[in-house]
Amino acid sequence: MQPSIIIEEEIGFIPYFRWLFLMILLGSSTVQLRASEGAYQSLSSAGLDLAYNLQFKEATDVFNQLIRLQPDNPHGYLLQSVNYYYRYQLEENHKVFGKQFQQFVLRAVEKSKRSLTDPDKKINALFYTGTAFMYLAAYHGWESEWLKAYWYGRKGIEYLERVVQEDSTYYDAYLGLGLYHYYTDIIPRYAKPLTFVLGIENNREKGLQELQLAAKHGTYSKAEALLFLGTIFLYLEKDYDVALNYFEALAKLYPQNASFLMLLGENYQKLNRNKEALNTLNQIVKKVDIPVFPVLVISSYYRIGNLYLNMKNPDEAINNYEKSMQYASLSTGNVKWVFALSNLNIGRSYETMGKRQEAVAYYKKVKRSHHKHAYEIAQKRLEKAGQGLNFTEPASFIEVGN
């Protein structure tokens, strides 16, 4: 439904496989209804629309209805598990949602495997099982349980490959496959041997083609395929005009999705359309329910700070970085990164004003345990500030990771 990780090269990548599994598996959340009746399918679509607009509680009720209507169908269990997975990522009390995710995704696997021997249900069962395994891999990757993440990820890909081998028009399966093929072909060179060990096919062009298939023909994968094509062209291919087409379309389809708006704002910033970027990001901090989705507000204030710093308005930059840390201090989520990056950029802001002493105080607040790359940059600035180092480079950093 939306990614929680934004990647930029300036400060370095988060540990590769966490990023890989999360990007791939967040993109595997589509669930296809090949054999569903109209009313059941309509209810599924309504639940997905609610979830895409971040109305998770309402979506939870809808998916529970699906389970009650067809208790032996893995479809409802899988949709509910995906719903809880995103609640686990974006809302407070993430440990509770993580447990609920595991309960429903394992029920989905149980129900799916019962149908693998039924010729009429086999292909859907393969897809449900593969998608469930991919989500389990994403969850365990997020929890840094790498062996489990690798095992589930590999099994998930095997099931999705079997889907398209049996039916090349099962377009929703191409989303997970496309992400896997693309990202395993652009990983850092040192990680390439691992893809060989895991039996992963590295093919960037094939991955892009598969994503385009999902975006054009997918039943439930269209929105997410557009989302990941947008993030690929924004952060990796660096074709900002192409990326903008995807994000503007998503924002129009799901205007309540703050994650889509955040990416759209970032895209505008890359195109130096600063006024549009600022207007878009301000929509998020004004509309989002802070107690429910603090991570979205924290990320938005941080991005607004970056925008003002790039616009050479350090006072407003500092104000927004401080707001991001203020809300982060109230959150129980994994938001330690914001303290490191905001303190670093507040220091940079003071440097642009010639206030070396104030900058040093903030560089010293950057903790390695919060973000090692930000810490390394802060240490370099403590050593070299005032000695010809350029303090005005763009303020664009990754948001999550160690």
Question: For residue 339, which amino acid is it?
Answer: F
Report residue 208 as tokens. 């892009």
Rounded to an integer, what distance in angstroms lies between the CA atom of residue 111 and that of residue 129?
A: 9
To the nearest 10°, report the CA torsion of 380, 368, 4, 147.
120
pLDDT for the residue numbered 265: 94
Domain boundaries, the chain: 16-237, 239-276, 288-384
Distances (CA, A) of 232 to 186, 239, 269: 11, 9, 16
Residue 75 in contact with residue 87, Cβ under 8 Å? no
pLDDT for the residue numbered 203: 81
The CATH code of the domain at 288-384 is 1.25.40.10
pLDDT for the residue numbered 385: 54
The residue written with tokens 């503007």 in the block is 248
Q: Do the first three CATH levels of 16-237 and 288-384 match, i.e. the same topology?
A: yes
pLDDT for the residue numbered 94: 77
Residue pLDDT tens, the chain, 402 long: 443 333 333 333 333 333 333 343 334 444 444 444 578 888 988 898 888 888 889 999 999 999 999 999 999 999 999 899 888 877 777 788 899 999 999 999 999 999 998 999 999 999 999 989 988 988 887 787 878 887 888 888 899 999 999 999 999 999 888 877 887 777 544 344 445 445 555 688 898 999 999 988 987 788 888 988 999 999 889 999 999 999 998 998 888 888 889 899 999 999 999 999 999 999 988 877 766 778 888 889 999 999 999 999 999 999 999 999 999 988 877 788 999 999 999 999 999 999 999 999 999 999 999 998 999 999 999 987 555 444 444 444 433 333
Residue 185 in contact with residue 204, Cβ under 8 Å? yes
Distances (CA, A) of 138 to 83, 87, 327, 356: 14, 14, 26, 43
pLDDT for the residue numbered 141: 78
Residue 54 in contact with residue 70, Cβ under 8 Å? no
Q: Which residues contact 49 (CB under 8 A, 6 or more apart)?
A: 254
Residue 173 in contact with residue 164, Cβ under 8 Å? yes
Q: Domain 16-237: which topology?
A: 1.25.40
